Structure 1
Amino acid sequence: MKFAQILYDKAHWIFEADKKPEFAPDIVLVDITGHDDIQEGWDYDAQTGEFTAPVFLDPVEPSPTVEEMQAQTLLNTEYLVSKSELLGGN
């Protein structure tokens, strides 16, 4: 038999045993025999008893503030003026 220990609504530990072990009453074990696709880290829905692969979203970088954009524009302008002065531009 194959079991998954559920912790924080995820398959925390997957293991095989001849029978369901007796652990502390707050440890949740689900029989996943025959479901070889389930992996540790998968989400578990206690209402439906189904496992799903986790979805990882790419972190979204926050848009720069108006002040940050103004500061970048000022830096770019100062850089171009300095470069022009160093190269002898008008």
Structure 2
Amino acid sequence: MKFAQILYDKAHWIFEADKKPEFAPDIFLVDITDKPEIQEGWDYKELKGEFTVPVIPDPVEPPPTVEEMQAQTLLNTEYLVSKSELLGGM
């Protein structure tokens, strides 16, 4: 038999045993003998008794550093000053 320990709504640990082991009452095990595709890390929906492949969000671009923001501000300021000088101070 094959089992998955569920922790925080995910298949945390997958293992094989001859029978369902008796662990502490707060350890939740699901028999996945007939579901060989399930892997550790898959999501588990207890109400439906279903496993699904986790959806990994696209990476988020980190915010700019203080130095990058300062450099952009300096470039913008230099651009505006140059533009003003070219247009004769209008």
Give the TM-score taking structure 2 as reference length. Answer: 0.71
Give the total of aligned pairs: 75
> How many percent of aligned residue pairs carry the same amino acid?
77
Deviations 1:33-53 (A, max 9, x none): 121100000000000000001
- In structure 2, stretches of 5+ residues that fail to align are 83-90
Map of 1:27 onto structure 2: 27
Deviations 1:2-35 (A, max 9, x none): 0000000000000000000000000000000121
CA-based RMSD: 2.6
- Does residue 43 (structure 1) correspond to residue 59 (structure 2)? The answer is no
- In structure 1, stretches of 5+ residues that fail to align are 82-90
Map of 1:11 onto structure 2: 11
Map of 2:57 onto structure 1: 57
Give the TM-score taking structure 1 as reference length. Answer: 0.71
